[in-house]
């Protein structure tokens, strides 16, 4: 049995560094560019592995250089990639992200093979991997795949984390199988109809489901069913880039929950990991 299995997206990210995001019809001279393995699913499983969890990835890539790069990245991180399928018909997912000088960014994704994950096969794949203590899902793959993965995970006794990003309407068939819902403030507002994260929490949490709203440099708020909302303060750091901070949080949270830690303590540790990530500090580095 694994500690954490992530079912989700794999993208190769093309990172463009520029003074600011372009306005309409504007061409902005950039500083540099590079590429890195990404996708919310890929980021989260690697972060969980770095946090000490035994991890596996369920996903799909194209039969192309991007796909080979993504699988090699998972292998190098110690993630079991045996259930990352290769799609002969669709190209690998990719994104183009522009990172501003202040660390904020914007991105465009092209999902490609991620949209071809087959829901009918997910129960057998989950059983073949031997299951996990925690399953992690996101909204960069079709909802039918998320529902099938959540059902298989719950049937196997796993706790299910859904990072509902990007925000979209979701059926009760999925939400009723989620133990921890993680969103940022924009996604919380879209899903709840409330701009105030504290007001959104009771609408996002439900019997048997906790909700966490991450607030970037302002920390986060969380609520477990039947309990009062709790605030976790931010760590003050010099931001290098916010790219991937939410995925770092989710991966670290999953790793902690897989060890049986309570949600509040796991969220505190994940908040620290995300702060370290945006400051580009090495894992294991001290941070005051």
DSSP conformation class of 233:
P
- The answer to whether residue 247 is catalytic is yes
CB-neighbour burial class of residue 102 (10 A; exposed 0-12, middle 13-18, buried 19+): exposed
b/e 62-97 (16+ beta carbons within 10 angstroms → b)? bebebbebbbebbeebebbbebbbebeebbbbbbeb
Q: Which of 80, 87, 179, 247 is catalytic?
A: 247
- The string of DSSP codes covering 9-55 is --EEEEEEE-SSPPPTT-----SEEEEEEE-HHHHHHHHHHHTT--E
Tell me the three state secondary structure of residue 250. helix
Rounded-to-integer distance, Cα 48 and Cα 4, Å: 7
In 3-state terms the chain splits into helix, strand, coil percentages (rounded to 5) of: 35, 30, 35
Phi, psi at residue 93, to the nearest 5°?
A: -65, 150
Task: Indicate which residues carry an active-site annotation.
Answer: 247
């Amino acid at each position: 049995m694994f500690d954490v299995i992530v079912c989700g997206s794999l993208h190769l990210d093309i990172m463009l560094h520029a003074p600011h995001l372009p306005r309409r019809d504007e061409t902005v001279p950039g500083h540099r560019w590079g590429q890195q393995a990404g996708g919310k699913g890929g980021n989260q499983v690697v972060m969980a592995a770095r946090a000490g969890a035994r991890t596996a990835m369920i996903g799909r890539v194209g039969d192309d250089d991007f796909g080979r790069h993504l699988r090699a990245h998972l292998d190098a991180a110690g993630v079991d990639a045996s259930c990352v399928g290769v799609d002969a018909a669709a190209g690998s997912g990719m994104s183009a992200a522009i990172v501003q000088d202040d660390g904020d960014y914007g991105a465009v994704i092209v999902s490609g093979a991620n949209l071809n994950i087959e829901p009918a096969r997910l129960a057998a794949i989950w059983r073949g991997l031997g299951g996990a203590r925690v399953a992690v899902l996101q909204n960069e793959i079709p909802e039918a795949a998320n529902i099938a993965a959540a059902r298989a995970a719950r049937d196997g006794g796993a706790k299910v984390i859904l990072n509902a990003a990007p925000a979209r309407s979701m059926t009760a068939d999925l939400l009723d199988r989620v133990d921890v819902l993680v969103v940022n403030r924009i996604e919380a507002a879209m899903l709840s109809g409330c701009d105030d994260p504290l007001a959104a929490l009771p609408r996002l949490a439900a019997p048997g489901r906790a909700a966490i709203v991450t607030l970037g440099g302002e920390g986060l708020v969380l609520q477990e069913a039947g309990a009062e909302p709790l605030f976790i303060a931010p760590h003050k750091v010099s931001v290098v880039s916010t790219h991937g901070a939410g995925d770092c949080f989710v991966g670290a949270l999953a790793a902690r929950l897989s060890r049986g830690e309570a949600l509040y303590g796991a969220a505190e540790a994940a908040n620290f990991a995300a702060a370290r990530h945006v400051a580009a500090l090495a894992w294991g580095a001290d941070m005051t």
